[in-house]
Amino acid sequence: MKISIIHNLYKRNPYVNESIQYNILALEEAKVDYQYILFNDKGDKDIYDDVKNLLNNKVEYYYSKTNYGMGKCSGGWIGAIPLLEGDIVHNTGQDDVFVADFYKKVKETFSNPEIMFFSCNGIRTDENLNQQGPMIPPQYQPDYSKPLDRFKEWFGIIGNEITQTNNGMLAPGTLYRKEIHDIIGPPSLNEFFGVCDFEYWARMLFFEIKGYYESSPLWLYRISNHSISHSEKIENKDHRPPYLQKVKEKYTQLWKEKMQ
């Protein structure tokens, strides 16, 4: 098993180098075969100066001539697909931190060939990685071996009607087998923008792809003043509602067709 980590880069961030170092240490301690892709989605070119000391035969840097993420740092999820060498895909943010126990659990989970994706709870931290508590209550333990049941839960299906759009999986803590791209297609960033991760996880569940959820928080979600999502929150911007509506419309139609 080889994991391809896509570390999205867009806006220069003083915590990027530290996060990469922590993540590489975690991978080495967990004895994981990995490819670490630093994908700059046509963002700040000065980021290269912050990470060039980390480059080697396992850690690669790419500057994209195309901005796949439309001003967000998640474009590497699309742009890096042709670069993937591993059979497991891990798409993560600029300054999130993973520990060895996270990747050990990943190895253990994917040793079961029936498991196609792995999702794990995380811990919110401040910029200095001081912990603030789990992102999802640890008592929440959904069974993703029954993907259609989780789909119904996420979309609040009553009868044949979709009543809500709730994402039950955290994007940085989710990995999946690369072969899923061949089964359901790649993520739709251009169509679903900031909720493309939610739409992709929903697509997996709709097509009854089985996974595993780890309720113990095994990675750190850094709340940084330098992140794009944080700056948008301060500016009171939220681009998600119209795209969540598009997700709802898509799966309302698909669900009706499925129930016929």
CATH for 17: 3.90.550.10
Question: CA 105 to CA 25: how far, in whole Å?
Answer: 16
Per-residue pLDDT for the chain (260 aa), expressed as one digit of tens each? 999 999 999 888 899 999 999 999 999 999 999 999 999 988 899 999 999 999 999 999 999 998 887 666 567 888 899 999 999 999 998 889 999 999 999 999 999 999 999 999 999 999 999 999 999 999 999 999 999 999 999 999 988 889 999 888 998 999 999 999 999 999 987 788 778 899 999 999 999 999 999 999 999 999 877 765 544 444 445 567 788 899 999 999 999 998 88
pLDDT of residue 73: 54
User: What is the Cα–Cα distance from 205 to 152, expressed in whole angstroms?
Assistant: 9
- Quote the domain boundaries for residue 61: 2-259
Whether the CB-CB separation of 101 and 133 falls below 8 Å is answered with no
Residue 160: per-residue pLDDT = 84
Tens digits of residue pLDDT in 216-256: 999 999 987 776 554 444 444 556 778 889 999 999 999 99
Which pLDDT score is estimated for 230?
47
CA distance 81 to 92: 14
Question: Tell me, what's the pLDDT at 195?
Answer: 85
- Phi and psi at residue 240, to the nearest 5°: -75, -40
Count of domains observed in the chain: 1
Longest dimension (CA), the chain: 57
Kindly report the backbone phi and psi dihedral angles of residue 149, in degrees, each rounded to the nearest multiple of 5, phi listed first: -65, -40
Look at residue 228 in the predicted model and tell me its pLDDT: 56
pLDDT at 237: 52
